[in-house]
């Protein structure tokens, strides 16, 4: 018996129904995240220096490690890696200066008007200007060629006030940015901070 | 009575149209190359979009490789979702008969990839949704070489029906009305 020749085709009705269902599910998920101001695994990096300013940070599970990373000017620049398991930041302000093709400079601002809750914070900083207060601070040295393990500083809790941090990489496992305000302003010159 | 006759006539017309369309495509394929023939037997575009979506979803966790490989971190979950979408896309090429199931899972994982991989800057999620929907919408039909009417058109992935080439006008009607 001859079986015939198989040929495939897309049924538009089925395709549209599946696509609509998928887009609805996506819309629902984005709406839930948008309403709670929650973002998962938010990375910021690979774009050079940006500035992080805040009035107060209360964190637990603090760890400070030496790090070599990429900045806007160099492939390998010395910096410190801050790791905080859970943190609450008051009056957070993140900004980045960018040069437009026309030669003018603009500043992109992200401000959190309400306390920002972060889980699993990893931040590579080139310059830190702040008042720091630690609880159960410990410094640990290890005789190893691995520079990231050679020296570590740990603390149960940390409180940072009036901070200005030049950051090159920021990662948050989960961030709850309530009352976020994003704005762009034009500036005359970009901000530069040189390490002393 | 008249209404029923008109409906049946319309149905017949639709079936004939669908069959003519498929036959035309089949004719074209007879003279086409091997790749075109291979492509016509599987949800090619659905699978391709799924593979592209998998690669895009993988982009962010790979950028975060320093922490992505730590089990339990959200970036690790993103990595897992990206790899799974990529594998599902490849499987759609190999096993076209499971295209509906593979499409549903691709869509589900593409949406979930927002956690851990930001959905490949959302572009990966959108491509995954389109790819998954194309896989769901894809159907394979068998055209009997000496068939005279629309009744000879059938779907081979329906087991017994395909083997015996039974009439399944409802299915053909639904597929032709959408085209």
For residue A37, the model assigns a pLDDT of 61
For residue A48, the model assigns a pLDDT of 65
Residue that wins the pLDDT comparison between A129 and B132: B132
Q: Which residues of A touch B (CB under 8 A)?
A: 2-16, 18-19, 21-23, 25-26, 29-30, 33, 40-43, 45-46, 120, 122, 171, 173-174
State the virtual CA torsion across A66, A67, A71, A73 in degrees, nearest 10. 70
Kindly report, residue by residue over A95-151, the tens digit of the pLDDT: 888 777 788 888 888 888 888 888 888 888 888 888 888 888 888 877 777 777 777
Q: Average of pLDDT values for B47-61?
A: 90
**Contact flag A14-B67 (C-beta cutoff 8 Å):** no
Q: Which residues from chain A sit within 8 angstroms of residue B42, using beta carbons?
A: 8
For residue B115, the model assigns a pLDDT of 77
Q: Which residues from chain B sit within 8 angstroms of residue A42, using beta carbons?
A: 118
Q: Is the pLDDT of residue B89 over 80?
A: yes
Q: Which residues from chain B sit within 8 angstroms of residue A10, using beta carbons?
A: 43, 45-46, 134, 137-139
Distances (CA, A) of A161 to A41, A75, A121, A130, A165: 25, 31, 17, 6, 11
Q: Is the pLDDT of residue A179 over 60?
A: yes
- Looking at chain A, the whole-number percentage of residues with pLDDT higher than 90 is 6
**Contact flag A5-B143 (C-beta cutoff 8 Å):** yes
Closest residue in chain A to residue B104, using alpha carbons only? A18
- Looking at chain B, the whole-number percentage of residues with pLDDT higher than 90 is 29
Q: Average of pLDDT values for B13-41?
A: 80
Q: Average of pLDDT values for B122-139?
A: 92
For residue B71, the model assigns a pLDDT of 57
Residue that wins the pLDDT comparison between B109 and A174: B109
Residue that wins the pLDDT comparison between B158 and A45: A45
- Looking at chain B, the whole-number percentage of residues with pLDDT higher than 70 is 72
From the list A9, A25, A40, which residue is nearest B141 (CB)? A9
For residue B168, the model assigns a pLDDT of 42
Band (pLDDT 50/70/90 cuts) for residue B176 is very low
**Contact flag B143-A4 (C-beta cutoff 8 Å):** yes
The rounded mean pLDDT for chain B is 76
From the list B67, B104, B134, which residue is nearest A171 (CB)? B67
Band (pLDDT 50/70/90 cuts) for residue A52 is confident
3-state secondary structure of B89: helix
**Contact flag B178-A41 (C-beta cutoff 8 Å):** no
Helices (H), chain A: 12-36, 147-150
Residue B162 near residue B151 (C-beta atoms within 8 A): no
Distance to chain B for A168, nearest Cα, Å = 14
For residue A83, the model assigns a pLDDT of 87
Least confident of A7-21, A52-66, B19-33, B154-168: B154-168
Distance to chain A for B12, nearest Cα, Å = 18
Q: Which residues from chain A sit within 8 angstroms of residue B137, using beta carbons?
A: 10-16, 18
Band (pLDDT 50/70/90 cuts) for residue A2 is very low
**Contact flag A40-B116 (C-beta cutoff 8 Å):** yes
For residue B163, the model assigns a pLDDT of 38
Kindly report, residue by residue over A13-27, the tens digit of the pLDDT: 899 999 999 999 999
Kindly report, residue by residue over A59-78, the tens digit of the pLDDT: 888 888 877 766 666 667 77
Q: Is the pLDDT of residue B130 over 90?
A: yes
Strand blocks (E) in chain B: 138-143, 153-154
- What is the number of alpha carbons within 13 Å of residue B148 lying toward its C-beta? 0
**Contact flag A5-B142 (C-beta cutoff 8 Å):** yes
From the list A15, A29, A122, which residue is nearest B134 (CB)? A15
Q: What is the DSSP string of A121-156?
A: EEEEEEEEEEEEEEES-EEEE---S-HHHHEEEEEE
C-alpha span between A168 and A170 (Å, rounded): 7
Kindly report, residue by residue over B143-162, the tens digit of the pLDDT: 766 544 444 455 554 443 34
Distance to chain A for B5, nearest Cα, Å = 26
Q: What is the ipTM of this complex?
A: 0.71
For residue B53, the model assigns a pLDDT of 93
Residue B53 near residue B83 (C-beta atoms within 8 A): no
Distance to chain A for B14, nearest Cα, Å = 14
Closest residue in chain A to residue B108, using alpha carbons only? A22
Residue that wins the pLDDT comparison between B29 and A55: A55
C-alpha span between A164 and A161 (Å, rounded): 9
Residue A91 near residue A55 (C-beta atoms within 8 A): yes
Band (pLDDT 50/70/90 cuts) for residue B139 is confident
Q: Is the pLDDT of residue B58 over 60?
A: yes
C-alpha span between B167 and B175 (Å, rounded): 14
Taking residue A42's Cβ as centre, other Cβ atoms within 10 Å add up to: 16
In this structure, what are the phi and psi dihedrals at residue A3, rounded to the nearest 5 degrees? Answer: -90, -20
From the list B60, B117, B132, which residue is nearest A18 (CB)? B132
Q: Average of pLDDT values for A84-95?
A: 88
């Amino acid at each position: 018996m001859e079986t015939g020749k198989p040929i495939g085709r897309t049924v538009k009705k089925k395709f549209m129904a599946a696509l609509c269902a998928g887009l609805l599910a996506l819309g629902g998920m984005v709406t839930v995240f948008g309403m709670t101001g929650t973002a998962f695994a938010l990375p910021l990096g690979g774009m050079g220096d940006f500035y992080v300013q805040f009035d107060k940070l209360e964190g637990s599970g603090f760890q400070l490690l030496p790090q070599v990373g990429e900045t806007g000017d160099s492939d390998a620049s010395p910096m410190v890696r801050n790791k905080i398991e859970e943190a609450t930041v008051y009056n957070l302000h993140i900004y980045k200066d960018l040069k437009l093709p026309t030669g003018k400079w603009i500043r992109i601002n992200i401000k959190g008007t309400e306390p920002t809750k972060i889980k699993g914070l990893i931040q590579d900083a080139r310059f830190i200007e702040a008042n720091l207060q630690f609880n159960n601070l410990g410094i640990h040295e290890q005789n190893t060629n691995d520079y990231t393990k050679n020296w570590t500083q740990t603390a149960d809790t940390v409180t940072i006030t009036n901070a200005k941090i030049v950051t090159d990489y920021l990662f948050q496992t989960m961030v709850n940015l309530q009352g976020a305000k994003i704005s762009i302003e034009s500036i005359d010159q970009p901000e530069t901070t040189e390490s002393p | 009575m008249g209404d029923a006759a008109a409906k049946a006539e319309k149905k017949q017309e639709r079936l004939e149209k669908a069959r003519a369309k498929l036959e035309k495509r089949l004719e074209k394929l007879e003279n086409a190359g091997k790749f075109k023939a291979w492509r016509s037997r599987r949800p090619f575009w659905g699978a391709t979009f799924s593979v592209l979506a998998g690669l895009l979803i993988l982009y962010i966790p790979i950028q975060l490789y320093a922490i992505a490989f730590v089990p339990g971190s959200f970036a690790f979950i993103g990595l897992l979702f990206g790899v799974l979408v990529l594998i599902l896309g490849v499987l759609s090429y190999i096993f076209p008969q499971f295209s509906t199931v593979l499409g549903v899972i691709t869509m589900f994982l593409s949406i979930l990839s927002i956690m851990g991989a930001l959905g490949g800057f959302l572009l990966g999620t959108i491509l995954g949704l389109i790819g998954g929907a194309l896989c769901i919408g894809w159907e394979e039909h068998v055209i009997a070489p000496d068939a005279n009417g629309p009744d000879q058109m059938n779907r081979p992935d329906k087991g017994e029906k395909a083997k015996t080439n039974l009439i399944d006008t409802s299915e053909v009607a639904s597929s032709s009305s959408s085209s």
